Amino acid sequence: MNKSLKYLFIVALLFVVVSCNAIGPSPKGTYVLLKTSMGDIKLLLYDETPMHRDNFINLVNSNVYDDVIFHRVISAFMIQTGDASTKQAGIPVGLDSLANYTIPAEIETKFYHKKGALAAARQANSINPEMRSSGTQFYIVQGSVYTDSKLDQYETTINNNIKQAMFIKYMYQVTDSAFNLDPPLSSATIQEIASEKMFDFLAENGEYKMTDKQRQDYKTIGGTPTLDGTYTVFGEVVEGLDVVDKIAAVATDGNDKPKEDVRILDATIVKK
């Protein structure tokens, strides 16, 4: 082989090696740095959930998250923060930001509760049938690692959760519509119509099924799959998973509140 051919061969080989090890294009979105009392966490806010992204950006730029605590921490599950009432000053004690304002759900099946997922807290289906997100409170998933057999069980659980949530949603909708009818609809008729709407939804969208990538993540890095399909995931941790683990490991009281405050000292929009 002459020198020119040898050179081209080496260049081609290097190109193949580099291409095989490339991580691919970075996800599109906005980056936020949370400086906490236990270390830094960098978040990526997804462009595909624009209402949650823009709301979060506005809150960061308004310094709402500066000085709030992680008020609910459950090891092997998640760490929750964002309640403005936990600031040391400036917000009336007892103000629950879950009820301050909400934003519409943006539940995308391609975003799931893998370790490091950023998701919006919300109130229960019974009083929040639209599954609207808290305007300020969010959680970061720590979770656990699962086997295929366990994930099979969780797929069934997720489908049941989705069916229950959609049935409650349609019950509220039909009940509201029936309020102005004369004569009013019976409870049995309302339930029948809500059930039909739920089955129409399922016929159009199909059963929830985890992707191969999703299963692989839950079997390796872990997560909290039971929350999939009913809570809005709108970002992920890109740096600082070790800090998430440290926060998740702190001692807590009977209400899952850390015995010693862990605070977000500063939240800022940053470049990648």
pLDDT at position 1, please?
Answer: 46
pLDDT at position 91, please?
Answer: 54
pLDDT at position 99, please?
Answer: 60
Q: In this structure, what are the phi and psi dihedrals at residue 74, rounded to the nearest 5 degrees?
A: -130, 110
For the entire predicted model, the pTM comes to 0.83
Q: Is the pLDDT of residue 178 over 80?
A: no
**CA dist., res. 19 & res. 12, Å (int):** 11
For the stretch 107-152, pLDDT in tens is: 999 999 999 999 999 999 989 999 999 999 999 999 999 999 999 9
pLDDT at position 113, please?
Answer: 98
For the stretch 213-262, pLDDT in tens is: 999 999 999 999 999 999 999 999 999 999 999 999 999 999 999 999 99
**How open is the CA angle 12-25-58, to the nearest 5 degrees?**
165
Give the Cβ contact number of residue 81 at 10 Å: 24
pLDDT at position 75, please?
Answer: 98
Give the Cβ contact number of residue 119 at 10 Å: 27
Give the Cβ contact number of residue 227 at 10 Å: 20
Which tokens is 150 given?
A: 């366990």
